[in-house]
Structure 1
Amino acid sequence: FFQNLNIKMHFEDEETCQMHDLMHDLAQMVGDECLLVDSPSEYVNENIRHVGIVNNSEAVLRSASLSNTPSHLRSYVKFEKYLGYSILPISDFDGNISSLRRLRVLFLKDKRYESLPESVGELIHLRYLKVCVDAHYLPEGITKLRYLQILDLEGSLNLRELPREFYRLTSLKHLRLRAEGLVSVNTSLIDMPPRFGELTSLQSLDRFIVGENNGLDALSGMNLAETL
């Protein structure tokens, strides 16, 4: 935040800054709900809403497993040491769905799996879903995520088609089908799902396929703010 403010306001480079007491109190209050787990001795208590695992040793993963976390968890992520983003293996996800029902953000990454669990549709509060698996198809259950705003499929290189009732994702604003930094297409998609043009909340789309289900006219009623 301070770096962005410094750039926008053209301040001189500052190494320190003074924080108002009210801002400090707010940061502490919010921080009480967050926990970064770096050792097996750290306990996920009932006040914790956001868990981040920064040490992927077996002992740490066992102590902070989903079965040991509160049911009101909002985020549960494991930070990859070199990739710079957080992931949750599907093997952890599918067996602990009851601990994840209030999640807003979820990254699913596991190349050992060729499909997503149908139970992903039970996470009705999801706003951001990133999927990186070897799946050829996404489960129809994903269309139950009526509050989903961002769907990132850039890591699912073998995806052939989207669910037929994809149009039910009426809150979807951003759909990503292309790998970051790549100009060429990186998926095996052969067509867009039927009634794709009904996604009128969609603001950004990095790829559109003209096929049997949709022609270019499907884009005419959409409010895309970014160029394909």
Structure 2
Amino acid sequence: MDDLMHDLASSVTQNESSAIISSSQQVSKNVRHLSFLYPELLPEDLPIPFQNLDHVRTISFSNERREGISSEVFIDACFLRFQCLRVADLAYSKFELLPRSIGNLKHLKYLSLWNNFFLKRLPNSICKLQSLQALILGGCDELEELPRDIKHMVNLRLLWITTKQKYLPTGGLGCLKSLRFLFISGCENLQYLFGDLHGLTNLRRLFIGGCDSLISLPQSIKFLTTLKILNIANCENLDLAIEEVEDNQHLSPFSLQKLEIINIPKLLGFPTWLIRGSIKSLKVLKITDCDNLRELPEPLQNIATLEELLIYGCPMLNNERLQNISGPIQACP
């Protein structure tokens, strides 16, 4: 995942780029992409050679040693000077507060705070970034909460969050109608997701993992009609059972192409709502390390589109229903 974040941020740095190894290094005025290879050696303020750069589009501080920038002053100076930034890769940074000046970067499209282990708060000014399409907050274990006006980040397409919050309120993330990819990981205190999950009308992939306090999923998850990939993993207290809606006229079941469930101890019987709307679309189904799973749903036998079925590490599973499934079963309990 670290390589993925780095590759995505550096994909635009093939031309007019400069790798900075010293704060006294001379840089061409036409440079557009700056990569600071030794962020731990940077001074508090922006060095003079960089103060006259007018065309910077990318700044990156991540390196192979996974050492990021620690100076809030330096980051603030970058935000104030490089007003045309499109990409800011601040992975593995060590500051506690992101400067409020982030809100001035009206052209910013990609912001990574991946594995900022000390980050506690984000300024609400970040919600002014109307051009932002990708916001990476995964691995921010100390992040106390998401910005209160995150609903205004209407152009976000990818959001990855880790937070210490116990619940995600309605009227926030559910307003992000442009969102395609949502990753919720490592939220150890999170008990409930936002109730207006159905507001994500363009969501293609939802990943929920490492949320041991998560109790249940909202009813509205069944109304994500554009959802194609659902991954749920390592949630110790998650009960996937959702009360079925009797009035089918108001039920718009999603049609998944890939469903992956890993290490969900409270999964006893496989909830039919997960695949009922996917009988004509599901191609990949993976169920692994669910120690207490005893039954698979009957609709599974009717999925003609299934190309890959992996069931592994489910010792309590009844094999009778597996024998009635025609298709590529890769592994059994």
TM-score scaled by structure 1?
Answer: 0.67
> Which structure 2 residues correspond to residues 19-168 of structure 1 after superposition, within 5 A?
27-28=14-15, 33-37=32-36, 38=39, 39=42, 40-41=46-47, 42-43=50-51, 47-54=55-62, 55-58=68-71, 59-64=73-78, 66-70=79-83, 73-80=85-92, 86=114, 89=119, 91-98=121-128, 100-108=129-137, 110-139=140-169, 140-168=171-199
What is the Cα deviation at residue 218 of structure 1?
A: 5.4
Unaligned runs of 5+ in 2: 1-12, 19-30, 63-67, 94-112, 233-238, 246-270, 288-333
Partner SS state of residue 156, structure 1: coil
Query: What does the per-residue CA deviation read over 1:56-99, in whole Å, with 9 as the maximum and x for residues that have no partner?
Result: 132533422x45542x6443331217xxx83564634434433x
Whole-angstrom CA distance in 1 between matches of 2:273 and 2:148: 32
CA-based RMSD: 3.4
CA distance in 2, matches of 1:117, 1:90: 11
2:213 maps to what in 1?
188
Aligned residues with identical type, % of pairs:
21
Structure with the greater alpha carbon radius of gyration: 2
Tell me by how many angstroms 1:128 deviates.
1.0
For residue 115 of structure 1, report the CA deviation from its aligned partner. 2.5
> Are 1:173 and 2:204 an aligned pair?
yes
Task: Report whether the alignment pairs 1:221 with 2:233.
Answer: no
**Helix, strand or coil for the counterpart of 2:277?**
coil
Task: Give the match's secondary structure for 1:118.
Answer: coil
CA distance in 1, matches of 2:127, 2:229: 30
Q: Distance in 1 between matches of 2:240 and 2:147?
A: 26
Give the secondary structure class of the aligned counterpart of 2:194: coil
Work out whether residues 125 and 147 of structure 1, in 8 Å CA contact, stay in contact via their aligned partners in 2: yes
Rounded Cα–Cα distance in structure 1 between residues aligned with 2:52 and 2:219:
44
Specify which structure has the bigger relative contact order, considering alpha-carbon pairs within 8 angstroms and separated by 6 or more residues. Answer: 1
* Between structures 1 and 2, the one with greater helix share: 1
**1:97-147: CA deviation from partner (whole Å, max 9, x where unpaired):** 33x321111112544443212222211111111111111112331111111
Report how many residues are paired: 192
Q: Secondary structure at the match of 2:59?
A: strand
The residue matched to 1:36 in structure 2 has which SS?
A: strand
Once residues 132 and 216 of structure 2 are traced to their aligned partners in structure 1, the CA distance between those partners, rounded to angstroms, is: 30
Relative distance call for 1:69 and 1:164 in structure 2 (3 A) is farther
Distance 2:282 2:213 in 1: 23
